[in-house]
């Protein structure tokens, strides 16, 4: 029976439960409102939402913002690298909306990868390869000028590894990208947004065209949440993304390069060896 719209056989359905992984324990939870919807949580933190029946469905708000930027890239298949995998939600989206795409996911947690392979039908994503190992080392091993898109969405629990936030790493990402390639970064922050501002300054120190997408409450520091950064050597679709983001059920703001420069004003780029800590979300946010 088809997996798009039809009921799954019991033998094909993922098994809800807790699974040991390198980070501790992952929990696989079914969405009671969508037949194909599954959530992966690690240490109580939602990491991925996967819809097995419709990979185009993006449940998390920040993932929808990432998808909007992907939709505005040049038509046709993409060569994409994902640093951080979990359920490979965006890779599934690209594989469905951009047939023929070639994608690589770099994921440190091999047991998590095996869980996703066993339970969430990872083999159904055509053109996708998963490499288990350190994301920074994985990017360093990639050839120059080979990819259209690099997506940085890597967290240890709910905290972004700071080794993936440095200017030196962003420079290596720029090396991997083609002339018109795009870097996308998911960063979580709250209150004064100090880490997000430094990361914005870091991306702007490498790429001449940047933007930021975030819900107004997060952007004002009123609550902890996700912000999406984009960087490119060529122009980004600011006007279109501004219009689309403002019209969402949960509206988001789009800051262009100049607005983002003001957002990051007074904050230095992050360098290897800097003493910087990524923000930890309040425990209450996931309850």
* Residues in a beta bridge with 25: 20
Radius of gyration of the chain (CA): 18
Instruction: Write out 235-254 in H/E/C secondary structure.
Output: CCCHHHHHHHHHCCCCCCEE
Report the C-alpha gap between 91 and 84 in whole angstroms.
11
Report the C-alpha gap between 203 and 273 in whole angstroms.
17
What pLDDT was estimated at residue 5? 42
Q: Which domains occur in the chain, in start order?
A: 56-275 (3.40.50.150)
What pLDDT was estimated at residue 114? 96
Instruction: Encode the chain (287 residues) as per-residue pLDDT tens digits.
Output: 334 444 455 557 899 999 999 989 999 999 999 999 999 999 888 999 999 999 999 999 999 999 999 999 999 999 999 999 899 999 999 999 999 999 999 999 999 999 999 999 999 999 999 999 999 999 999 999 999 999 999 988 778 999 999 999 999 999 999 999 999 999 999 989 999 999 999 999 999 999 999 999 999 989 999 999 999 999 999 999 999 999 998 899 999 999 999 999 999 999 999 999 888 888 767 66
Report the C-alpha gap between 197 and 99 in whole angstroms.
35
Report the C-alpha gap between 148 and 211 in whole angstroms.
17
Contacts of 215 (CB under 8 A, 6+ apart): 61, 225, 250, 251, 252, 253
Report the C-alpha gap between 273 and 176 in whole angstroms.
23
pTM: 0.93
Selection from 257, 267, 272, 284 nearest residue 195 by Cα? 267
Report the C-alpha gap between 191 and 64 in whole angstroms.
23
Q: Distance of CA 110 to CAs 53, 60, 86, Å? A: 25, 24, 10
């Amino acid at each position: 029976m088809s997996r798009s719209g039809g009921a799954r056989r019991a033998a094909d359905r993922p098994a809800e439960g807790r699974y040991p992984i390198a980070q501790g324990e992952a929990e696989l939870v079914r969405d009671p409102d969508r037949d194909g919807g599954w959530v992966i949580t690690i240490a109580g933190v939602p990491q991925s939402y996967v819809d097995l029946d419709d990979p185009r469905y993006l449940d998390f708000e920040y993932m929808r913002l990432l998808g909007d930027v992907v939709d505005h890239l040049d038509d046709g298949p993409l060569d994409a690298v994902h640093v951080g995998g979990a359920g490979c939600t965006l890779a599934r989206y690209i594989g469905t909306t951009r047939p023929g795409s070639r994608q690589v996911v770099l994921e440190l947690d091999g047991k998590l990868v095996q869980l996703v392979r066993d339970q969430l039908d990872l083999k159904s994503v055509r053109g996708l390869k998963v490499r288990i190992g350190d994301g920074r080392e994985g990017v360093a091993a990639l050839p120059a000028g080979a990819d259209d898109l690099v997506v940085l969405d890597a967290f240890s629990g709910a905290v972004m590894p700071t080794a993936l936030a440095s200017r030196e790493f962003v420079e290596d990402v720029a090396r991997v990208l083609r002339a018109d390639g795009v870097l996308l970064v998911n960063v979580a922050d709250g209150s004064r947004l100090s880490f997000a501002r430094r990361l914005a300054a870091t991306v702007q120190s490498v790429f001449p065209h940047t933007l930021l997408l975030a819900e107004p409450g997060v952007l004002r520091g009123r609550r902890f949440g996700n912000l999406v950064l984009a960087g490119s050597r060529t122009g980004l679709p600011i006007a279109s993304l501004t219009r689309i983001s403002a019209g969402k059920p949960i509206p988001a703001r789009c800051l262009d390069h100049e607005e983002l420069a003001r957002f990051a004003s007074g904050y230095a780029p992050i360098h290897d060896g800097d003493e910087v800590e990524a923000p930890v979300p309040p425990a209450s946010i996931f309850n």
